[in-house]
Amino acid sequence: MKITRVRAILTAPEGIALVVVKVETDQDGLYGLGCATFTQRPTLVARAVDEYLDPLLQGRDPANIEDMWHLMMVNSYWRNGPVLNNAVSGVDMALWDIKGKVANMPVYDLLGGKCREAAMVYRHADGRDPQEVLDNVQKYQSEGYLAVRCQMGGYGGRVQDIRPGAALPSKGAPQATHRGRGMDRLDSAFPGTYYNPDVYARSIPPLFDHIRSNVGDGLFLLHDIHERLAPIDAIRMAKALEPYRLFFLEDAFAPDQIEWFRRLRDQCATPIAMGELHNNPLEWRPLIAEQLIDYIRAHLSQLGGLTPARKLAALCEAYGVRTAWHGPGDVSPIGHAANLHLDLACHNFGIQEVINFSEPLYEVFPGTPELRGGYVWANDKPGFGVDLDEAAAAKYPIELKVIEWTQGRWPDGTIWTP
């Protein structure tokens, strides 16, 4: 069996650019699909697939996944960047999909079989104030979900997008409304998404006090700092949240601030999750080996696919760290299926982030996993069990535009991590 073509397919059924890789073979009707979604730079990933990986892999045996993963990673000499890693991921997942189809087995069976029937998920509840967040949390609870991530005003308490020429309060005018909403800022020439880290940090413990006092202890609660705070303020928040028994606190620090995880662990018992921005093993290895985190939150395509992710899961198991793979809207249903197959096969599974799979997603991606009763369920089809309707995908072209939410700024205009 030989690879005859490797190509990228771009589609946006929910308005979010998704990148899918299709690996075709010389066996009639046999192909594999993988997720290569780097939604902020989708066309760069597609060009890496079409212009570099396709000619590199044509004529090779798709059964040799391990060899080809290493080949793709080192062939460009420089490595461990998001564009290349995502391109490699698309091929890697597609090769696992092919292997499952050839074996007539779901990928989770190739990985050793199920440890559980389905994967517990958490949903995302936001709101303008504590009561609105609570209302959304209770809505998920009434639908049978067991865990909810609670935010207020977006990541960092963001409340206002500022562009050049946007009107500001006149000088000398009362500022209370802006100060109360965390938007007391300078007349800045820097466009971006402004938020006030101090207001955000002080607002979250009262939010969880309000939610926990209303929902009781029967619901798992989570929160994502999203790296929006100075490290010492993130530690202070983590300590303040201890009484509310979070399932985990996510992304307290940036990947290049590993030393702060040691300080956090020394001072606080709130469970910590980290990893969605990780590209390089050196970013996660110390966190796991020193048991500085409780959940690995890696984005599978950012790692380079299923091959490195299953090794990461095994490393985590040895140190008592559980998995909580990144599962937002900028993961294709094929990527969500890859998350799920690992969830089912890995003993140290913790929880799975997931989105609401809409009708357009099911239209474009037949076989997309299903949400039922607070869990996500896989089908038992060979491979990942998810297909791609290319005609339907073409109905939802991607739209390239400047990414605004990653232009996060503090009130004085300082750019900060998104």
Catalytic residues: 155, 226
**Please, are residues 376 and 338 in contact by the beta-carbon 8 Å criterion?**
no
Which residue in 285, 292, 313 sits closest to 249, CA to CA?
292
**Please, are residues 293 and 261 in contact by the beta-carbon 8 Å criterion?**
yes
Q: 181-208: string of b/e by CB count within 10 Å (b at 16+)?
A: bbbebeebeebbbbbbbebbbbbbbebb
Please tell me the distance from the alpha carbon of residue 387 to that of residue 368, in angstroms, as a whole number.
8
Please tell me the distance from the alpha carbon of residue 180 to that of residue 55, in angstroms, as a whole number.
57
Sign, CA torsion 168/172/173/177: positive
**Please, are residues 44 and 37 in contact by the beta-carbon 8 Å criterion?**
no
Tokens of 120: 């517990």
The alpha carbon of 149 is separated from its chain's Cα centroid by a whole number of angstroms, namely: 13
Tokens of 177: 């409304």
Report which secondary-structure segment, H or E, holds 250: strand 248-250
Write phi, then psi, for 217 (nearest 5 degrees): -95, 5
Q: 336-359: string of b/e by CB count within 10 Å (b at 16+)?
A: bbbbbbbbbbbebbbbbbbbebee
Q: What's at 53, amino acid-wise?
A: L
Which residue in 211, 299, 289 sits closest to 250, CA to CA?
299
How big, in percent rounded to 5, are the helix, strand and coil portions of the chain? 40, 15, 45
Q: Report H helices in 31-175.
A: 42-48, 54-57, 65-74, 82-103, 107-110, 130-142
Q: Is 5 helix (H, G, I), strand (E, B) or coil?
A: strand
